[in-house]
Structure 1
Amino acid sequence: MVRFKNKLTLTGTATMAALFLGMNASAARMDMVDVSNNNGYMSMAEYTSMRNEFGVKAVTAKISEGGTYKDPYAASNIANVQAAGMYINGYHFARYATKAQAIIEADFAGKTAKAAGLPVGAVLATDVEAEEQNSQSQATNDRNNAAFMKEIQKFGYRADIYTSGSWANNKMTIKDKTGWIAAYPYVVNGKNWYSTNHAWQWSSTAKFRISYGGFDVSQLNSNYYTAGQKSTIKPTNKDAVKANNRKANKNIYKPASSVKWVKESKTYTLKTAVKLRTGASTSSNTITILPAGDTVKTDRAIIQGGYRWVRQPRFYGYGYLATGPASNTLEYVKSGATHTYYTVKSGDSWWEIAQRNGLNMTSLASQNGKSIYTTIYPGQRLVVW
């Protein structure tokens, strides 16, 4: 959820064509945007533009992080979103690793939200995607998240969990009719990802007409983030909303031309039946269907066509199979599969590490339980395969 913003003066209508960069999201709507200090000061006019021209209904503003950090723009974001007639919610970036720490952070977040003016009835979600939770068991994270959410409700706020698709029901339990899940696929193909959860964050590169920089944008699959408050939300330019949604949903994403097959010597055990194909494409002919429990030895891998593909040497040539969608690269493989790790060096970026390993950087970040805006540090180990 960390965003960087560079405000520029906008003139004319030329910028209307550059609304979104990123991906095809034919099922996705721009219902909710989240903001933090890294977006800088956001005016009422900017939020009004989001509402009138893009159909944004709700904004979720960063309130706090850990046990000491207060977002300096929380109060102005809350006030300006409300002035624009939109629903306002908040989120706390979690650093807790124990139940006691979760309660302390919830108390800090609740008090900070009250001071910043977050109205009673709003959602105050816990953003769980940090190294502190990555090293915990699912049971421990579930216990800590439950403690945070129970405590936050004492302040009159409704609770929820934000996390990545690769962490949901892996690093922590996210039940149906709960949760705000981030997953940035190559191609949605009409599929409404995470339709049984409250919200699906489908892009981190949204651009709005009078606001510069990349924004997280989510589709709401329930009224959870638009309940408990009064709102005058009514997009006044319905034609613009339709046009901007059409432009946002165009298939303008093109994988980097430099993405190539990389060496991989692995043995995977399948947890579901997978088609072995003559090529790395869902349109390639099927050689056979490998049953669940079968083991597959590979020598190459690539992110291509929305999937992570691996190559299996065979007596006659090769077979190709997907280990899962690019945003969740081991969905079809048992979690016990071994990984290849890369140790972050000084000066590295998500883009550089991804290019070096033949990956898409959003997929690389997602399979490590992070977003491309999460800060990485020298010495960290990242899963690259």
Structure 2
Amino acid sequence: MPIYAVDVYSESNDSIIRDPHAQAVIVKATQNTGYVNPKCNHQWDLAGQLGKLRGLYHYAGGSNPETEAQYFINNIKNYVGQGILALDWEKAQNASWGDPTWAKRFVIEVHRLTGVWPIIYVQESALWQVANCADVCGVWVAKYYSMQWYSWSLPNMSVSSGAFAFLTGWQFTGGDMDRDVFFLDEAGWKKLANPENKKVEESKPSAPTPAPTPEPAKPKSWTDSVGDTWTEENGTFTTNQAINLRWGAKQSSSLIATLSAGSEVKYDAYSRHDGYVWLRQPRGNGQYGYLVCRDANTNEPFGTFK
């Protein structure tokens, strides 16, 4: 029988951990080398009190991978062996996105420190970036039918495992909460967490100590050639209706395509002008596409953001 799980971070409500459908909880522990989730210990303890399987993940910042691995393990060393470990490999706030060597160096260092191979969370389209980990790690793929799939029933869709022999896990929703399914049983989960079956102390581990959180860098802003101000921001927008994708951020700009409801667009900047909030979509050869995502007057969104 598969294991259904949720993954949580500092802004997640405890109700997500308490959801009776979730048999396991994977908690964000660290990011880069300067952030510890201040709710990590609480979320870990709550999941344990509810009798759920547990895990911890590190969000890659793209700095030195060995240093990030050491930072991760140093902050969760008292939990090693009690839950699975995972690397969250995403584009946002990741300076090494696109580097196919980074994840392998990270997991090798984690294994050197703990004897545990972490699983790797990655979107399906970026499986190639972590393919060289397939000989030692499991893969946890993110792919959604839509951002409005507010259900624990699995959507009927194919999900690739790329170079990996099989899917270890699949994150199949990301709207109201991140729902996951892992294709293993409780014994398999515990084997990933503690492959050498080392004795784990029963006493409560000490809490990770949050490191000082540096002041976030102010987003870069600029004014384009037609006088519109843009602000740098990376994310994914999923449309909830048909929206035109254009070569410029004007309603008069020439059309690239009409996106159907449920289309996902990766964007790197936004601008509020001419009655709308516009997003900029990076495309090949240094070109960009543009689309509206929100009514600037009513603030009504035309989709969801992640």
- Could you say which TM-score interval applies, normalised by the shorter chain? 0.5 to 0.7
Report the CA distance between 1:342 and its aligned residue.
6.3
Question: CA separation in 2, counterparts of 1:165 and 1:82?
Answer: 30
Match of 1:94 in 2: 60
Question: CA separation in 1, counterparts of 2:103 and 2:94?
Answer: 10
Question: What per-residue deviation string (whole Å, max 9, x for no partner) do you get for residues 31-83 of structure 1?
Answer: 1101111125x38xx64x423xx2x1211001111112111111111111111
Match of 2:109 in 1: 151
Question: CA separation in 2, counterparts of 1:204 and 1:135?
Answer: 24
Moved over 6 A (4+): none
1:162 corresponds to which of 121, 124, 127: 121
Question: CA separation in 1, counterparts of 2:170 and 2:86?
Answer: 14
Alpha carbons of structure 1 residues 204 and 89: separation in structure 2 relative to 1, 3 Å: same
Match of 1:19 in 2: none
Report the CA distance between 1:133 and its aligned residue.
4.6
2:95 corresponds to 1:128: no
Partner amino acid, structure 2, of 1:216: D
2:67 corresponds to 1:104: yes
| Larger RCO of the pair (alpha carbons < 8 Å, separation 6+) | 1
Alignment of 1:1-385 (within 5 A): 31-39=4-12, 42=14, 47=17, 49-51=18-20, 54=21, 56-97=22-63, 101-114=64-77, 117-120=78-81, 122-131=83-92, 133=94, 137=98, 141-153=99-111, 154-169=113-128, 171-173=129-131, 175=134, 178-186=138-146, 190-194=156-160, 196-205=166-175, 214-223=176-185, 226-228=189-191, 256-257=240-241, 259-263=242-246, 300-304=256-260, 326-327=263-264, 343-345=269-271, 353=279, 357=291, 372-373=305-306
Partner amino acid, structure 1, of 2:240: A
User: What SS does structure 2 have at the residue aligned with 1:158?
Assistant: coil
Question: CA separation in 1, counterparts of 2:89 and 2:155?
Answer: 28
Question: What per-residue deviation string (whole Å, max 9, x for no partner) do you get for residues 98-121 of structure 1?
Answer: xxx11111111011112xx42415
Contact 2:239 / 2:264 at 8 angstroms: preserved in 1?
no
Question: CA separation in 1, counterparts of 2:261 and 2:240?
Answer: 12
Question: CA separation in 2, counterparts of 1:190 and 1:88?
Answer: 27
Question: CA separation in 2, counterparts of 1:352 and 1:264?
Answer: 12
Kindly report the root-mean-square deviation, in angstroms, between the aligned alpha carbons of the 2 structures. 4.0
User: What SS does structure 2 have at the residue aligned with 1:95?
Assistant: coil
Q: Percent identity?
A: 18
**Structure 1: where are the runs of 5+ without partners?**
1-28, 206-213, 231-253, 266-297, 307-325, 330-340, 361-370, 374-385
Partner amino acid, structure 2, of 1:201: Q
Contact 1:197 / 1:222 at 8 angstroms: preserved in 2?
no
**Structure 2: where are the runs of 5+ without partners?**
195-237, 249-253, 282-289, 295-303
Alpha carbons of structure 1 residues 256 and 305: separation in structure 2 relative to 1, 3 Å: closer
Larger displacement relative to structure 2 (183-192 or 76-85): 183-192
Contact 2:278 / 2:293 at 8 angstroms: preserved in 1?
no
Question: CA separation in 2, counterparts of 1:222 and 1:30?
Answer: 6
Question: CA separation in 2, counterparts of 1:191 and 1:131?
Answer: 26
Report the CA distance between 1:143 and its aligned residue.
2.2
Report the CA distance between 1:343 and its aligned residue.
3.9
Question: CA separation in 2, counterparts of 1:221 and 1:33?
Answer: 14
User: What SS does structure 2 have at the residue aligned with 1:39?
Assistant: coil
Of the two, which has the highest radius of gyration? 1
Question: CA separation in 1, counterparts of 2:272 and 2:68?
Answer: 31
Alpha carbons of structure 1 residues 328 and 112: separation in structure 2 relative to 1, 3 Å: same
Q: Which has the higher helix share?
A: 1
TM-score (norm 2): 0.59
Question: CA separation in 2, counterparts of 1:305 and 1:345?
Answer: 22
Contact 2:30 / 2:36 at 8 angstroms: preserved in 1?
yes
Report the CA distance between 1:191 and its aligned residue.
2.4
Contact 1:165 / 1:182 at 8 angstroms: preserved in 2?
yes
Alpha carbons of structure 1 residues 93 and 342: separation in structure 2 relative to 1, 3 Å: closer
Report the CA distance between 1:152 and its aligned residue.
1.3
Alpha carbons of structure 1 residues 328 and 163: separation in structure 2 relative to 1, 3 Å: farther
Question: CA separation in 1, counterparts of 2:121 and 2:41?
Answer: 21
Contact 1:197 / 1:221 at 8 angstroms: preserved in 2?
yes
Question: CA separation in 2, counterparts of 1:183 and 1:354?
Answer: 22
Question: CA separation in 2, counterparts of 1:146 and 1:162?
Answer: 13
Partner amino acid, structure 1, of 2:139: G
User: What SS does structure 2 have at the residue aligned with 1:163?
Assistant: strand
How many residues end up aligned between the 2 structures?
222
Partner amino acid, structure 2, of 1:165: E
